[in-house]
Amino acid sequence: MNLESILFTQGFGSRRQCRALIGDARVSIQGAICTDADADFAVDSGALRFSVDGIEWPYREHAYLLLNKPAGYECSRDPQHHLCVFSLLPPQFAERGVQCVGRLDQDTTGLLLLSDDGKFVHQFTSPKRKVPKLYVATTRHPLDDAQLAALRDGVLLHGETRPSAALEAQARDTHTLALTVLEGKYHQVKRMIAASGNRCEALHRERIGGLALPASLAPGAWQWLDDTGLAALRAG
């Protein structure tokens, strides 16, 4: 693939803009400045790295990202009342069409996946896939055995005809609930907690499938999801 196409597929602007970046000697490939937009490089090994204005990027056919979402951000490109979660990412990801793999409410924090791979997005948002998701909720009132049992057995949400049950529901302390669900209905975890007789004061997603939010990833920070992370996600 030629260098112009490499930059274009990675979200660095239109083809004309990519060619201008290269012509202005702002692009290095494998550590050396390249001003030939038509120079060809192998991209099939996964080892290609390039730099734009001194910032190094790996070539990825598809982007798979993990973000530690902070509160106050909407998972939308057209947010209504809060900041856009995509503003936490470098702009080239929006240019290449990265989207959220499912959504978190603006006040919900934690593990959020993003990708430009439509098949991947569908796979992990389809209700048929039933990917377990672990949430940690802070509750207003103390937890008790009756609430935990109700969550495991199933609670009927307003407007629903079938009960929603947690795969697991455990108290980590008097006001901290670890809840695993397979579905992804609107405000599901908050509504389930309310239906059990309590109230959710804060909500954090800790795990999707077998993939846990890295303890080292600060709120608002992102990282590439590597093959090990993808395998863990699918293993769950």
Which parts of the chain are beta strand (E)? 27-29, 32-33, 49-52, 55-58, 64-69, 73-74, 83-84, 99-100, 108-115, 133-139, 168-173, 176-181, 200-208, 211-212, 222-224
Is 24 an annotated catalytic residue?
no
Active-site option among 36, 105, 145, 226: 105
Beta-ladder partners of 222? 67
Euclidean distance between CA atoms 23 and 224, whole angstroms: 29
Count of C-beta atoms within a 10 Å radius of residue 57? 18
Q: What are phi and psi of 124, to 5 degrees?
A: -100, 5
User: What Cα–Cα distance (Å) separates residue 182 from each residue in 92, 97, 130, 133?
Assistant: 32, 27, 5, 6
- Residues annotated as catalytic (active site), given as ranges: 105
